Chains A and B, each alone.
Chain A
Amino acid sequence: MATDVETLTFRQGGVHPAEHKERTSGLPLEVSEPPAEVAVLMVQHIGAPASPAVKKGDRVSKGQLVGEAQGYISAGVHAPVSGTVKAVEPRIYNVTGARVPAVVIENDGEERWQEGLNQPRDAERMDASHMVEAVQECGVVGLGGATFPAHVKLNPPADTTITDAFVNGTECEPYVTVDHRLMLERTEDVIDGLRLIMRMVGAPNGWVGIEMNKPDAVEAFGRALADEPAIRVVPLEVRYPQGAEQQLITAVTGREVPSQGGLPLDVGCVVHNVATTLAVREAVRLRRPLIERPLTVTGDGMERAGNFVERIGANLGDIIRRQGVREGTNQIILGGPMMGIAQGTSEVPLVKGNNCIVLRRGAVVPPQRHCIRCGRCVDHCPLGLMPGEISIACEERDWDAAVELGMLECKECGCCAYVCPAKRRIVHLIKFGKSELRRRRAQRKEGG
């Protein structure tokens, strides 16, 4: 194993939680049986919700647009199966817990693709704008959990120059192993996707950033890229949140994304994770809409763990029952344990951003005590904030102080609360503070 490889990393903060990846990292991706029914949410991305393009009783083909994007920062959603629209009704969006409109489709089992979709085409003849259109048409969003519409990132404003395009293969959240599997099983396709992205944004440099807990992936890319000077594989230190865009960019290029709303493109960078890169590739080369996604199913509450390709809109409860829920399971996390969302019910449809299901037994919330000012949260915040003090300001509803301490910069990575010996719910308080502030600002705008 290549343990003596020199690794790069970001500059400040970070933690190293137990990885828990060994259970699934060696299990190849399996394509699951399509479910009998899917519920496709109109909100699965950052930006404006899509609007239903079909109605009850309609017959739909696989890949057909069932929710139309509303505006530029939005994404269309497509039928993951062929069948009949059973209802257009609210379902729970597992990221926010809110009910949003969903198109419920009964699967006819025919797997009948819509005409013209999922057909190879000559991508070499497509120009950048044509390719970006394909990505937009296929409803591709960031599949690492951020769910930002991919076509927006791939179409930087005319006055910016993108020099570096990244595949983010860090997968720094504990438990998650799908990107690892994709990197091993589809190395060439990932590289192909990155090449397409480099063409779209005009970036001369390509990077594949991989944490060194996946030495086999580093090796696979090293071999595949031996004759490709424009694309380099970068082994990264195993350190959370190495996979956050900002931390990855800093580790590789030394540049820092500007604070106060700066974007990677401000420092000439565009970052996509592995699954997104593949979805971009399939949109361009095959005109295949995003209707399925890879997912790690694991945790000590899961009888049979694994990596699966699931249809969007599948019911979470059906997946975990299929894999077996162990007695004593009391928590379902969608995403990893550092940033994932604990679900109040297992009966929620999968959305594009779900990369992992963690079932935990005997999970408890440790009792919270007063901050003892140990400073660990400050030392470990990758963004140089004062998390403990921000959380106290939020408790006291002193929003000015919270903002001054950097609350709006916080990416909710969880490092601060992870290390806090007082077990303070820092991230919870910061999330609350941000939403309160948004609400108040909106009110003020209306009022004035």
Chain B
Amino acid sequence: MEQTNADMQLLVSSSPHVREPDTIRGIMWQVVIALLPAVAMSLYFFDLAALKVYAISIAAAEAAELVCLKMRGRPLAHAADGSAFITGLLLAMVLPPGAAWYVPLVGGVFAIAVAKHAFGGLGNNIWNPALAARIFLQFAYPVQISLSRWPAPRVLWGAAHDVVTAASPLAKEGAAAPLSYLDLLLGNGVPGCIGETCKVALIVGGVFLIARSIVDWRIPLFYIGTAFVLTWLLPTGAHARAWSADPVYHVLAGGLMIGAFFMATDMVTTPVTRRGRIIFAVGCGLIVSLIRRYGGYPEGVAYSIVLMNTCTPLIDRWVRPRIYGSTTPKPVPREA
């Protein structure tokens, strides 16, 4: 059937008239997919305790997203773009498996309502919402987060560990003998936050995102690389534990992996240039090393990223790509 001109309703739009298929929604749900291996492992290690935290955290984040979108007069469909889901998911992954029900609830709402929408919503937030909420909870419920007796993780093989008395293999006191590299890599019997213990699963997800061009490889590489070098070279104090100067242990224990692959790579809160991202990642590595080596806190990943998030606008101001032709001298002066 041919058309006459009269029935043609012409779409007038600005070039380019073709677009790459990638959308925000597509990117966000791919991040969720990338997190699934780690989620699956965490459900094995921590069982229903973890499931409860996931459910509450995600539900709280999505509910807060809907309310905020409604209040701000934004399309409610944005709640399905996956961004709030990721925030809820990531928050749960950095909470202890034994957290009381109100901890993920308050955290999820804080992440979305305060750390995200109060700053103008997706794209405008300065801090990674999940990490901002994690730090908020650290202050709001210090006992819940840091000192409670966390449930012991299930093991893949070997004897079950006793109920551990430390939140993390990086704790400065209390923990038993350091775990083997292999245990750390697999998360076998490793205490810690829900989603951070199985490094293999996190690496698999991270590599998937790098392959999909959703994550810039520079960030995990330079973040982990800097932390590795510095925890190796920085002098240790007098009361250092046996693993203090072991960079491999630092990389494999604690939240560095999940932070480097999934949190320091959050697009919104990291620099937009490649060089800027390298500076960002090196800064994260520096801060986490200093905190672990000289601070009173065993972890430091969350703080390092949130601190560098704060520096991101500055980095984007200072570090820009070289403009094409700006270094070529103009032989003939001419009026522009």
Contact = CB atoms under 8 A, between A and B. Distances in A.
Contact of A419 (B2, B17, B20): B20
A338 B272 contact: no
B36 interface: no
A305 B230 CA distance: 63
Contacts of A423: 19, 23
A388 B335 CA distance: 29
Interface in A177-204: none
A222 B318 CA distance: 47
B239 interface: no
Contacts of A406: 323
Interface in B7-48: 8-20, 22-24, 26-27
Contact of A340 (B8, B17, B216, B324): B17
A428 B19 CA distance: 14
Interface string A244-273: 001000100001111111110111000000
Nearest to B269: A373
Q: Give the secondary structure class of B's interface.
A: loop
B334 A261 contact: yes
Contacts of B14: 342, 425, 427-428, 431
Contacts of A366: 19, 23
Q: Give the secondary structure class of A's interface.
A: loop
B272 A386 contact: yes
A321 interface: yes
Interface string B51-63: 0000000000000
A384 interface: yes
B1 interface: yes
A378 B273 contact: yes
Contacts of B271: 375
Interface residues of A, number: 83
A17 interface: yes
B332 A412 contact: no
A256 B325 contact: yes
Interface in B293-336: 316, 320-332, 334-336
B37 to A, nearest CB: 23
Contacts of B16: 337-339, 414, 417-418, 427
A260 B17 contact: no
Given A342-B10, A343-B10, A418-B16, A267 B328 contact: yes
Interface of B: 1-5, 8-20, 22-24, 26-27, 78, 121-124, 216, 267-274, 277, 316, 320-332, 334-336
11 contacts: A255-B328, A257-B324, A266-B330, A324-B2, A326-B1, A331-B13, A342-B10, A363-B13, A365-B13, A384-B322, A409-B325
In order of increasing CB-CB distance, the 6 nearest A-B pairs are A414-B16, A428-B14, A375-B272, A261-B336, A259-B325, A384-B321
